[in-house]
Amino acid sequence: MSNPGAAVGGTSPASRRSQPRKGNSEGTDEIGRKALTSLPGCRYGERFAERGMWAVDKVLDFKGFRELFANRAVVFTDLPAGRPRELAERVNERVGRGDATIRSKVEFEALFGELTGVDPPAGATLTVRDGAGGLTAEGTIVQEYLRVASGAGDFFDQPMWAVSITDWPAPDALIEKAVTSSGQARLDVWRTDPADPRPIPPAGASGVSFTSATFSLLNSGNRTLYAPKRSWKIDVEPGDDDDRIVGLARLNLKSMYNDPSQMREALAWDLFARTGIPAARHTYARLGINGVYRGLYSMIEQVDHLFLRSRFGANNRGNLYKAYCGDVGCATLERRADAAGDDSGKQYFTPGHKDLTYRLKTNEDDADSNTYDDLATLIRTINGVGLLGGGERFKSDAFRGAVQDVLDVQSFLRWAGANVLLGSWDNYFATPANYYLYNGGPPGQPKKYVTAPYFTFIPWDYDNSFGIDYSGTAWQYTDLLDWPSNTVKYWHRDGKPDRRSHIPLVQNLLANHDFAQYYLDHLEYLLDAAFTPAAVAARMGTPDGNGLWQRVDQAAYLEADTPYAAAFTGRQFTNDEVYRGGFAQEYLRHGNSSIEGIYHFVRMRSDSARAQLQTLRATYPAGASGAHFGPAPALVGSGV
């Protein structure tokens, strides 16, 4: 069945619109006075935005000047003609990298030298405010540079990027271990119009935003690593920090191999942004390698040190774990103990094993931090170890208090509500794997992360969502309080007909009345405010609007020569299937996969969730948690 009205104003492979389409970015705070953004319910309190500290300083030395642009790049081609642009162009020509930005230390040193007339600028100062507090001529120039400075948020707010790799040897080879450029190859990244009919449009007047000869390539993915259209990780850190792209060390390009609509990941990250949980940002990219178009990709923010700094502020130096299926099975968070009863951190990893289930991504070489004892503490706590009462212990105030001491519970429960609505199963649900746990220590006490762990759940990997299935499971009908009951067919497919997924972090928390009450209240808020068929259709831009579909259709259609021909990029769906799965919102069968139209999945999931809530409200009255989730959330920037 197609989306009602889909035929009106439709965009088919045979007839595409060509008008330019703009992103839906929100306005930014006044340059130089960037406010801290509150995350509702997040115990860390504030997400630290790119700082504009110079607004309170009259005089800047080079260190202060450089800090203004930390993890930001001055896009000087966005400046009008005049002295600020002339100075930046002069610096770029003299010491730049041949792109349209000022971003490296040497470039900022040269720019500061131009402004102060002192070269090298060590010991020099720049007066940016006069005695009355007004901007000086130099201060006005700095203000202009800040106005066009781009950070990670601006990067993901762009609706589309072109990513071009040239002079790369053996471009068709599978890369399972990162290969670093010898210096002959080149990585170029620039902004592009999603509606451009050329596969790899040239950079145009704004120029190449970022360029580097020091980078590495790696093919990524679990189920899709060997797919004809592979995902890519581009790491720019084989050079140095100056090679980072607005602080980003890595570009994750996901092929969306399982998703004919090319919109599922974008919709999922959009919903998480609305819930106020720490989650990656998203945009799109067209990839070219040695001049050959490789197709449309989903570009997703890496969970790394920059991510931790931007979400957790001073609590950014803790232990980050990524969950896989590996040496101790899949990452269920079930308690493990040896024959002597030892359940310390050493039960959760095998020294020297190449495929760890719980992989420590930070502090790997710190002997005080890499014991996994903090993870063991979390697992011990969520499994109610040491509490009396058998299965009833999870209902107790003692369990509730113990969990709240080691986990940002509200953030996790908001994720859980969003996840069960999305029908995403290849994470901490059916698999379970594909998520992060971050122990940053108690809020405001970052140095205590070893002795007093405090974890936050961070989602990852959302291509298998909104009705994509391989096991005959109707994920849209999952029981809101008993997720494992809907995993029987998932395990039957693997020859384990009597098994269900074990996910104690969900099941044990939802067995507690107070936790379940908060979870259901927030879930109903999402059903009212964001997860409605109309709201999701508007976000997609179907049947006729300005949304995600209008961002992806042109680049997706360029992957094949005709509506029914196989895509030369290796994408498994024809253009006709992309149209039917994305714009027309039809149900598709492809190989062993069953793919609901997103619109219809949302309608079925919403109806089922509301019916369940109506029954559950006898035990969990609406609003009884006392939590306030605010008005209907505003649309986030176009890059989410």
Pairing of strands 325-326, 319-323: unpaired
Give yes or no for residue 108 having a pLDDT over 50: yes
Give yes or no for residue 26 having a pLDDT over 90: no
The residue type of 403 is: V
> What local confidence, expressed as pLDDT, does residue 50 receive?
37
> What local confidence, expressed as pLDDT, does residue 360 receive?
98
Backbone phi and psi for residue 295, each to the nearest 5 degrees, phi listed first: 110, -175
Average pLDDT value for residue range 30-37:
27
- Render pLDDT for 314-356 as a digit per residue (tens, 0 to 9): 999 999 999 999 999 999 999 999 999 999 999 999 999 999 9
Backbone phi and psi for residue 538, each to the nearest 5 degrees, phi listed first: -65, -40
User: How much of the chain, in percent, has pLDDT values that exceed 90?
Assistant: 79
The residue type of 623 is: G
Give yes or no for residue 580 having a pLDDT over 60: yes
Integer angstrom CA distances of residue 178 from 169, 412, 579, 640: 14, 33, 35, 27
Give yes or no for residue 48 having a pLDDT over 60: no
> What local confidence, expressed as pLDDT, does residue 56 receive?
52
> What local confidence, expressed as pLDDT, does residue 32 receive?
31
Average pLDDT value for residue range 359-379:
97
Give yes or no for residue 64 having a pLDDT over 80: yes
Chain mean pLDDT for the chain: 89
- Of 407, 366, 370, which is closest to residue 506 (Cα–Cα)? 407
Contact, 125 vs 607, CB < 8 A?
no
More confident residue, 363 or 9: 363
The Cα–Cα gap between 101 and 91 comes to 10
Integer angstrom CA distances of residue 103 from 209, 214, 242, 632: 10, 15, 7, 38
- Of 153, 71, 146, which is closest to residue 104 (Cα–Cα)? 71
- Render pLDDT for 532-576 as a digit per residue (tens, 0 to 9): 999 999 999 988 889 999 999 999 999 999 999 999 999 999 999
- Ranges of each domain in the chain: 37-149, 153-300, 305-511
- Render pLDDT for 221-254 as a digit per residue (tens, 0 to 9): 877 889 999 999 999 876 555 678 888 999 999 9
The Cα–Cα gap between 121 and 60 comes to 11
Pairing of strands 329-330, 325-326: antiparallel
Give yes or no for residue 162 having a pLDDT over 70: yes
The residue type of 423 is: G
The β-bridge partners of 38 are 46
Give yes or no for residue 639 having a pLDDT over 60: no
Give yes or no for residue 511 having a pLDDT over 90: yes
Lowest mean pLDDT among 43-47, 170-174, 389-393, 479-483: 43-47
- Mapping DSSP onto H, E and C, the string for 554-620 reads HHHHCCCCCCCCCCCCCCCCCHHHHHHHHHCCCCEEECCEEECCHHHHHHHHHHHHHHHHHHHCCCC
Give yes or no for residue 271 having a pLDDT over 70: yes
The Cα–Cα gap between 501 and 478 comes to 13
- Render pLDDT for 491-509 as a digit per residue (tens, 0 to 9): 998 899 889 999 999 999 9
Give yes or no for residue 7 having a pLDDT over 70: no
> What local confidence, expressed as pLDDT, does residue 27 receive?
32
Give yes or no for residue 211 having a pLDDT over 60: yes
Contact, 440 vs 238, CB < 8 A?
no
Lowest mean pLDDT among 12-16, 273-277, 295-299, 484-488: 12-16
pTM over 0.85: yes
**Confidence band of 204 (pLDDT split at 50, 70, 90):** confident
Integer angstrom CA distances of residue 475 from 362, 488, 517, 561, 585: 34, 11, 22, 35, 17
> What local confidence, expressed as pLDDT, does residue 5 receive?
35
> What local confidence, expressed as pLDDT, does residue 98 receive?
87
> What local confidence, expressed as pLDDT, does residue 631 receive?
56
> What local confidence, expressed as pLDDT, does residue 237 receive?
76
- Of 540, 512, 461, which is closest to residue 298 (Cα–Cα)? 461
Give yes or no for residue 640 having a pLDDT over 50: no
Average pLDDT value for residue range 405-425:
98
> What local confidence, expressed as pLDDT, does residue 482 receive?
98
Give yes or no for residue 144 having a pLDDT over 50: yes
**Confidence band of 120 (pLDDT split at 50, 70, 90):** confident
**Confidence band of 2 (pLDDT split at 50, 70, 90):** very low
**Confidence band of 122 (pLDDT split at 50, 70, 90):** confident
> What local confidence, expressed as pLDDT, does residue 239 receive?
54
Contact, 1 vs 597, CB < 8 A?
yes
More confident residue, 170 or 521: 521
**Confidence band of 49 (pLDDT split at 50, 70, 90):** very low
Average pLDDT value for residue range 115-142:
91
> What local confidence, expressed as pLDDT, does residue 223 receive?
73
